[in-house]
Structure 1
């Protein structure tokens, strides 16, 4: 039985600058480094088979970060011969992660001050997620990955049509 999501893995071009951005933009806390530059990269046929790396790819470093009450973020700095930019909303696969915030204006301001770029200003949620105070917007990290900010204090319409209440992180 699945108990919940543990973490989201993200490949970044530079582990240190991505970690710094996540700390400054979201208040993330670095928990531990699972692979460091002090050891040889995880590479070769075993790494390729284990992680699904492209031939010639190598994991240079890995770091686990804690982000609020949600799942962790595991950063991978990987080098490979044919790397591509992050997925867009129209591409297949994981294309963004969403952060629940109580104050979307403060959260997006912190994000842009840390070097992120907003795609729009915060706006009302759409469809079944409409409700007083329900807002969202998307932004991009300095390396181009998409992040969504959302605040959904009013879930009456959602909960009335769902078999179980939508997840909301606990308040501090």
Structure 2
């Protein structure tokens, strides 16, 4: 009897527990004045809601082959890390990271009315942000909210069915 009560209490707790809220935004920018033609796309994971936040992670999903590394790349360390969300839309960004031992990405949107540069670069020493895919004034940088994937109704119904079968088995075992 105690096991059943403990099981039911655990199930109720799991159902009542809410997941941590996070928002996902896709980003993209195109080469305007760099040496490698093409587009860079990816995802940014931020805390949910409006405000100015540090992002949790950035994933580069696509980039031109001329950049020279495998995709996707997940980045969790940044030396500039700020994004502003208002009304579910990104209104400002200042995100820069070095990764893979000498590659840089920057997503610098409208900062006080002045656009920064967006680039994905193999640094190789000399020109920070001047080679690779580059948009010097972030004119092609866009962000879009990615909606949450809803849980299909079949999963909760299946869980309820398993619970019902478990209860029937428990009662049959108790009666025997």
Normalised TM-score (structure 1): 0.22
